[in-house]
């Protein structure tokens, strides 16, 4: 004997209805219908699957649709994210990092990221390449730390990719 379960939700001006219909011992049909308030159909679909797979497929659909939503609402990229570092930018970064002041490393990295329109990760990764200790604002990178991080120790400025 067939059994049916329905659930409805309204998102914005669209009403969605999802029905799960068990047609037989081993067959489940999921039907989705989305309509506007005027009755226009904007979403529809039908899936036939094994009854045993219903919950697992529901979880799979949720994961895929959630990932898709995240991709669509991803924040705008940093304007300079894809641009190469220049000698001038390296100098600007080094000078700003070594400025005296009470600001901690994380705050200074975030401020520089905003100012230079690059991600905080990009700023932190670039600091050792310009001879700065990314863990302590105002401090140059020691020779030992430079060796450990695989960068050439720098006392001055200059681009190094």
Tell me yes or no: is domain 3-72 CATH 3.40.50. Answer: no
Task: Tell me the mean pLDDT in the region 67-87.
Answer: 82
What pLDDT score was predicted for residue 76?
65
* 35 CB-near residues (< 8 Å, 6+ apart): 14, 15, 41, 42
Task: Tell me the mean pLDDT in the region 71-84.
Answer: 79
Classified as helix, coil or strand, 35 is strand
Provide the whole-model pTM: 0.51
* 136 CB-near residues (< 8 Å, 6+ apart): 105
- Tell me which residue of 138, 145, 141, 135 sits closest to 155, measured CA to CA: 141
Q: Where are the domains of the chain?
A: 3-72, 87-149
In this predicted model, which residue has the larger pLDDT, 23 or 40? Answer: 40
Percentage of the chain modeled with pLDDT above 70: 91
């Amino acid at each position: 004997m067939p059994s049916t379960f329905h659930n409805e939700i309204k998102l914005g001006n669209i009403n969605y209805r999802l029905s799960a219909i068990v047609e037989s011992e081993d067959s489940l049909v999921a039907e989705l219908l989305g309509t506007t308030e005027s009755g226009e159909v904007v979403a529809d679909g039908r899936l036939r699957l094994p009854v045993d797979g219903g919950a697992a497929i529901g979880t799979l659909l949720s994961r895929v649709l959630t990932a898709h939503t995240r991709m669509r609402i991803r924040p705008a990229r940093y304007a300079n994210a894809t641009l190469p570092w220049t000698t001038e930018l390296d100098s600007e970064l080094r000078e700003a990092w070594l400025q005296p002041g009470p600001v901690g490393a994380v705050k200074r990295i975030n401020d520089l990221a905003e100012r230079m329109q690059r991600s905080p990760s990009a700023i932190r990764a670039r600091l050792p390449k310009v001879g700065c200790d990314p863990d302590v604002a105002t401090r140059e990178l020691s020779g030992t730390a430079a060796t450990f991080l695989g960068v050439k120790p720098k006392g001055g400025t200059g681009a190094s990719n």
